[in-house]
A and B are shown apart, each in its own frame.
Chain A
Amino acid sequence: MTSIEAHVQQPYKYGFVTDIESEVVPPGLNEDVIRLISAKKGEPAWMLEWRLKAYRNWLKMNEPHWPNVKYGPIDYQAISYYAAPKQKPKLESLDQVDPKLIQTFEKLGIPIDEQKRLTGVAVDAVFDSVSVATTFQAELAKFGVIFKPISQAIREHPELVQKYLSTVVPINDNFFAALNSAVFTDGSFVYVPKGVRCPLELSTYFRINASSTGQFERTLIIADEGSYVSYLEGCSAPMRDENQLHAAVVELVALDRATIKYSTIQNWYPGDEEGKGGIYNFVTKRGKCAGVNSKISWTQVETGSAITWKYPGCILQGDNSIGEFYSVAVTSHKQQADTGTKMIHLGRNTRSTIVSKGISAGRGQNTYRGLVKIMKGAEGARNYSQCDSMLIGDKCGAHTFPYIDVRNSTAIMEHEASTSKIGEDQIFYLRQRGLAAEDAVSMIVNGFCKEVFKELPMEFAVEATRLLGISLEGSVG
């Protein structure tokens, strides 16, 4: 397999560090640190109480070790829980944002200044623990759409935040969700009012820069009755020998007839060839189709992180609601991923679709873990699951753990799975037609992922294809 493997590994291109003066809280976690974070964010008292409650829950919980991944112990007292660039950005005007920050995001392909910003996409740029800029806020406000850093939303829209925060992911849902609830620093808040189709793609870009810190993002998206929103997140981090923890919580709420489309392009630093360094991406993402005929669709392209542990799921509560999960997960070098979804059918005639594509290369280990649960009242529920694994080389692994729990006899379940190997014969066939070996690998992999890529917003589909090219093979023009 040598000629294929030669094209499988490529250096990480987003591993630079921005030299900027930061305010970093000393490492360690206790109630004082939480009070400090809350004070820095200018939060109301109820928010602090909520955080402290989460923290006290967390203290009683144990780190989960059931995922199919291996890593050394994490010292939660060695992590700094807050880091922010010193010059405090004024969100009203980009002129006051440190040019180094603007340059950083530009280098990452996320231009945020007025002249260069992406058309058709509103961007919230989060740098370590703070949001440094959010574009198109005023334009969105004309439609009644709220798109702003969550810390700002807590101050400005407490009634919305209080009504929905932790209604999908309870503060004691799991160890990392509890930790996030205690110490989360920034993330995005979206509210789309009744009957509004959000006119722009909304996007948040998360950048970790400071060392010895963790990033704890919190995102809350609410789509009111009959509304539609498409949201995309991207992320990257510098190359470092240490492991950094990223423990996010994302909650989505779709009311009657609302649709939320949530896409992720995850490109955290994956560590080096020997598995040194890289981000631990331990994330809880869940959506609730609370209303009738509502729909939540998750699409993820996971190429980065040393370890990925995430199961974006849907609680299908409203009758006729729809949950979807489309995933491409790539593990190369010594990356490990244990990812999949949970579809919980509560309402009648609820439907879910799962399409998972796992690609393993190098010594990567890729696990699909999914739960489809049809509850007693979910008359006429349907699920379709498809899990495909592709192996590149002979030192990697693919694993599939589909759990099915059906408590209503009217349910219809379909499950398909396949495992394939990119072979010399496939590569040779394409080379014999004139394609270079790396273009051949790229074509085979892109074809394999096509069903997922077509779910991405058009602006990002090209980016995803390109990213997959980068993490899998030699540079392709």
Chain B
Amino acid sequence: MAKQKALLEVKQLRVAVAGNEILKGVDLTIADGEVHAIMGPNGSGKSTLAQVLAGHPAYEVRAGSVKYDGKDLFDMDPEERARDGVFLAFQYPVEIRGITNSYFLRSALNAIRKHRGEPELDPIDFLQVLEQKLKAIGWDDSMMNRPVNEGFSGGEKKRNEILQLAVLEPRLAILDETDSGLDIDALKTVAHAVNQLRGPKRSFLIVTHYQRLLNHITPDVVHVLADGRIVKSGGPELAQELEAKGYDWLRDAAMVS
């Protein structure tokens, strides 16, 4: 495979939340079109990495740098990152009362289109775009006229995140424990959609505790995050090894180093 341009370059990133240092020097490079998985035990800092890349204000960057498409990511507001193609599928998507999914998604898409210098879509044009996207991932539009995540089951909320991903067409999609709380059928549905959305111009960072999602989405690279550092990286086979052996052997290794 020809060497791809790096889309994301994380160097020696140290991040604290509420005064506690969670990430203690993370290095990570993701090239265009690559799918990386970040695995690790609870509390290792996986979600912190996802949130800080998206720009959550509660996370304090103490040291290190992140370059996204050649730009300093920390110079950009969360909405600027989003408009420039950074997408986070939330572990706990929030509810927005009284606002339909379809209105919300059109507003978001239009904010992104405006940023790209493309004309905004009216509701009718948007519906056409939406239909194409739904067709591509094989889903129906049953969630579109319900208020954003309100009254959604856990599985529906996760599906809704992937639907947004499909419509907003990011360059870097970060999936934060999208598999948690999904039964096996829902997991397959979500994985199928993600696979349809893979492409040479879209990179993925998949944060997960369990290996089972990676049975359906084959990553290019698997990293293990333990105690705020990436302690091991490898191919898809690393995920299998973790499933068999657990995390303890790596955590011990991290402590020693």
CB distance from A15 to the nearest CB of B (A): 31
CB distance from A97 to the nearest CB of B (A): 40
A424 near B57 (CB under 8 angstroms)?
yes
Contact of B79 among A436, A443, A449, A451 (CB under 8 A): A436
Q: In this complex, what residue of A is CB-closest to B77?
A: A431
- 24 A-B pairs in the complex with CB atoms less than 8 angstroms apart: A423-B94, A425-B94, A426-B94, A428-B55, A428-B78, A429-B93, A429-B96, A430-B104, A430-B108, A431-B79, A431-B82, A432-B79, A433-B82, A433-B104, A433-B108, A434-B112, A434-B115, A434-B168, A439-B107, A439-B111, A444-B96, A446-B98, A448-B97, A450-B99
Please provide the chain B residues from 99 to 116 with a CB less than 8 Å away from any CB of chain A in the complex. Answer: 99, 104, 107-109, 111-112, 115
B54 near A432 (CB under 8 angstroms)?
yes
CB distance from A299 to the nearest CB of B (A): 16
A432 near B96 (CB under 8 angstroms)?
no
A443 near B78 (CB under 8 angstroms)?
no
- Are A429 and B94 CB-contacts (below 8 A) given A424-B58, A434-B79? yes
* Chain B residues within an 8 Å CB radius of A433: 82, 104, 108, 111, 164, 168
A429 near B147 (CB under 8 angstroms)?
no
B98 near A434 (CB under 8 angstroms)?
no
Tally chain A residues at the interface, Cβ within 8 Å: 24
CB distance from B14 to the nearest CB of A (A): 21
- Are A435 and B98 CB-contacts (below 8 A) given A3-B57, A424-B58, A447-B147? no
* Chain B residues within an 8 Å CB radius of A434: 79, 82-83, 108-109, 111-112, 115, 168
**B residues with CB within 8 A of A:** 54-58, 77-79, 81-83, 87-88, 90, 93-94, 96-99, 104, 107-109, 111-112, 115, 147, 164, 168
Q: Whole-angstrom distance between the alpha carbons of A429 and B105 in the complex?
A: 12
Q: In this complex, what residue of B is CB-closest to A449?
A: B98
Q: Whole-angstrom distance between the alpha carbons of A425 and B78 in the complex?
A: 12
Q: Whole-angstrom distance between the alpha carbons of A446 and B98 in the complex?
A: 8
B55 near A446 (CB under 8 angstroms)?
no
* Chain A residues within an 8 Å CB radius of B57: 3, 424, 428
Q: In this complex, what residue of A is CB-closest to B108?
A: A433
* Chain A residues within an 8 Å CB radius of B164: 433
B111 near A443 (CB under 8 angstroms)?
no
Q: Does A245 contact B (CB under 8 A)?
A: no
* Chain A residues within an 8 Å CB radius of B83: 434
* Chain A residues within an 8 Å CB radius of B90: 429, 432
B56 near A428 (CB under 8 angstroms)?
yes
Q: Whole-angstrom distance between the alpha carbons of A435 and B77 in the complex?
A: 11
B58 near A448 (CB under 8 angstroms)?
no
B108 near A426 (CB under 8 angstroms)?
no
* Chain B residues within an 8 Å CB radius of A428: 54-57, 78
Q: In this complex, what residue of B is CB-closest to A444?
A: B96
Q: Whole-angstrom distance between the alpha carbons of A426 and B104 in the complex?
A: 13
